[in-house]
């Protein structure tokens, strides 16, 4: 039943960038954003990505009465001791735009040499069959890179314009959606999630 091509699965997100990426990666499945059901985003009160992803998945499953997928992700910068971390989406404050968050990040890293600007995107993905699912499926992905000194590119969202991808020698925001989804933290987590779900069904 989970992740079948005929079963609707609610995506617990209102982030248009995430919705677009996840629907592309899981093409062929009926992935419907929670906004279709007028579900409001759950408050992310957890201190870890796992906690927040479960909170969001449970909220969507509860209100939609359908299986749900949720992710919580963020950027870890070594020179900032892991910041922005779990508050990546609100690094510059509640309601901050992507541009606000990027600007604050660049300001915090001002004067830090390139070799010390190592960073990684981390994504935790959760699948719940229903709101009371005692055994949520949890997967994660990690994408290593470095923070640039200025923004480059117009694709993607969030911190993509300042995240350097060594293997492609460009910023994440310069990658096509297909290439990004094939190597990103979110793509890794989703592929791992689907594998784990299939294994649980055996």
Q: Among 5-9, 131-135, 167-171, which is the least confidently predicted range?
A: 5-9
Beta-strand runs (E) in the chain: 9-11, 31-33, 68-77, 118-128, 137-147, 163-165, 170-171
d(CA 29, CA 32): 9
Token code pair at residue 113? 């040499």
Half-sphere exposure of 26 (CA within 13 A, CB side): 29
pLDDT band at 87 (very low <50, low <70, confident <90, very high): very high
Contact 164, 94 (CB under 8 A): no
Can you give the pLDDT at residue 4? 58
Output the pLDDT for position 101. Answer: 98
In whole angstroms, give the CA distance from residue 97 to residue 133. Answer: 34
pLDDT in tens, 135-165: 999 999 999 999 999 999 999 999 999 999 9
Q: Is 160 a catalytic residue?
A: no
The confidence band for 1, taking pLDDT boundaries of 50, 70 and 90, is very low
Report the predicted TM-score, pTM, of the whole model to 2 decimal places.
0.89
Query: What kind of fold does domain 9-201 have according to CATH?
Result: Maf protein (3.90.950)
Domain boundaries, the chain: 9-201
Helix (H) or strand (E) holding 23: helix 16-25
What is the token pair recorded at 116? Answer: 């010390």
Catalytic residue chosen out of the listed positions 71, 72, 78, 98: 72
Mean pLDDT of 66-86: 96
């Amino acid at each position: 039943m989970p992740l079948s091509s005929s079963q609707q699965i609610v995506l617990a997100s209102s982030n248009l960038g995430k919705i677009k990426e996840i629907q592309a990666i899981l093409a062929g499945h009926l992935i419907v954003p929670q906004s279709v059901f007028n579900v409001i985003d759950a408050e992310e009160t957890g201190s870890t990505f796992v906690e927040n992803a479960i909170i969001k998945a449970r909220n969507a499953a509860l209100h939609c009465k359908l299986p749900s997928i949720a992710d919580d992700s963020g950027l870890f910068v070594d020179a900032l001791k892991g910041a922005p971390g779990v508050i990546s989406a609100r690094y510059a404050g509640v309601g901050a735009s992507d541009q606000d968050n990027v600007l604050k990040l660049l300001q915090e890293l001002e004067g830090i040499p390139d070799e010390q600007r190592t960073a990684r995107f981390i994504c935790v993905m959760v699948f719940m069959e229903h709101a009371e699912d005692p055994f949520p499926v949890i997967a994660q992905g990690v994408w290593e890179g470095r923070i640039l000194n200025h923004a480059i590119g117009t694709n993607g969202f969030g911190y993509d314009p300042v995240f350097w991808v060594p293997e492609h020698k460009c910023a994440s925001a310069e990658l096509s959606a297909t290439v990004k989804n094939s190597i990103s933290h979110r793509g890794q987590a989703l592929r791992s999630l689907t594998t784990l779900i299939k294994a649980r069904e055996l």
